[in-house]
Structure 1
């Protein structure tokens, strides 16, 4: 039986396609990255748009708050990882060519100065903002086929990375130890649905 959720409040606004959202941990804010290259920040309580800024002319597919630094970090189809101060909207840092293809997902470590990104270039990368945004060794899939990294999540204790992938063949999930960058587990599965169109990179 499907889970039924009661909708407490709706926030509705006309915009370009929304690619990613994030909630601020202490403020009543939600940020949304858009296909047109912009980021919007909304106040959930007042339902007002409080900040908006342009990241680039390409789709921004990932956005995250880093509340302890007063930052918003974005990843886009221009392959750049860009950081903004959300109070001043000043650009704090930009990593040009952080990946060699679209950046799909961003995760912020809960305690360490780390940002994890995944991309269509098939890698997951870890960045340390206290070491001038140095990139640790890219975490590359251990199997032979080309797999586009679609999404990543981090365990609450900050020690394990789960990366999900998709392509025209079975999807792969990997669990990687953050401490040693060693793959712990891989899961393959087929997901077939009449509603799902065939994989086309240009259409997502």
Structure 2
């Protein structure tokens, strides 16, 4: 449990850290509007700085189909797609009318998509090859704080400051279930490996939920 490195990385709060799937890289995104790439095999040097967002950068995600590419989400309402090697911006999506809190790549069938969650109370699914929004997930009554596509089950989960979790069909985007546990705002979701259990982090605690059935029915163990 010894600390091996202490890095003065950003001049404002750090919102997310993302580890590259195959290379010794970590991406950090910050309220200083910057994204930085760190190489731990080179004593954690900052090898790239990605500039372009006009507000806090809330999250980044590597493209699993092109590991030289990543997406970033910002409170400026845009999604930006970046090239790791060149450090350049590939393109920008004017994605939401308010800030974006989260972003994730996922596959549906053999087609790649992005999903983003926003302070405009919606999540959106993007075909980033055509740069088009293919679906808007509506129903939350407050900011969408986290989106998560289950690695095994055919579902998408959205979390919100309205205190609910919504479970959506990954193919039809139909709302299967709305879960509420009285723990106030829901901030994050994580999956247990090789399990149908999902963990939600809320203002008032953490809950473990077992998602079962094709319609997203649930049972919960606290």
Whether TM-score is above 0.5 comes out as yes
Paired residue for 1:57? 97
In structure 2, list runs of 5 or more residues that go unmatched: 6-39
Q: 2:72 aligns with which of 8, 32, 36?
A: 32
Q: What residue in structure 2 maps to residue 133 of structure 1?
A: 173
Kindly state the Cα deviation for residue 10 of structure 1 after the two structures are TM-superposed.
3.1
Q: Distance in 1 between matches of 2:185 and 2:3?
A: 30
Shift of 1:111: 3.0
TM-score, length-normalised on structure 1?
Answer: 0.79
Aligned residue for 2:201, secondary structure, equals strand
Residues 1:20 and 1:66: Cα distance change in structure 2 (over 3 Å): same
Judge conservation of contact 2:197–2:208 (CA < 8 Å) in 1: yes
Structure 1 position 126, deviation (Å): 1.0
Distance (whole Å) between structure 1 residues aligned to residue 80 and residue 195 of structure 2: 28
Aligned to 2:157: 116
Deviation at 1:57, TM superposition (A): 2.2
Deviation at 1:3, TM superposition (A): 4.0
**Is there any run of 5+ residues in structure 1 with no aligned partner, and where?**
186-204
**2:44 aligned with 1:7, yes or no?**
yes
Question: Aligned partners of 1:65 and 1:19: how far apart in 2?
Answer: 15
8 Å Cα contact 2:115-2:125 kept in structure 1: yes
Q: 2:119 aligns with which of 70, 77, 86?
A: 77
Cα deviations by residue, 1:15-45 (Å, 9 ceiling, x for unpaired): 2211122121231221111101100011112
Tell me the distance in 1 between the aligned counterparts of 2:73 and 2:144. 13
- Work out whether residues 42 and 48 of structure 1, in 8 Å CA contact, stay in contact via their aligned partners in 2: yes
1:174 aligns with 2:207: yes
Change beyond 3 A, Cα 1:112–1:183: closer
Contact in 1 for aligned 2:57/2:75 (Cα 8 Å): yes
**Residues 116-166 of structure 1, C-alpha deviations (whole Å, 9 max, x = no match):** 110011111111132x2111221211x4xx510011112232511111112
Corresponding residue for 1:93? 135
C-alpha root-mean-square deviation of aligned residues, in Å? 1.9
Confirm or deny: 8 A CA contact 2:168 2:177 kept in the other structure: no
Q: TM-score normalized by structure 2?
A: 0.73
Aligned length: 176
Contact kept in structure 2, 1:81 and 1:98, CA below 8 Å: no
- The answer on whether the counterparts of 1:107 and 1:154 sit within 8 Å (CA) in structure 2 is no
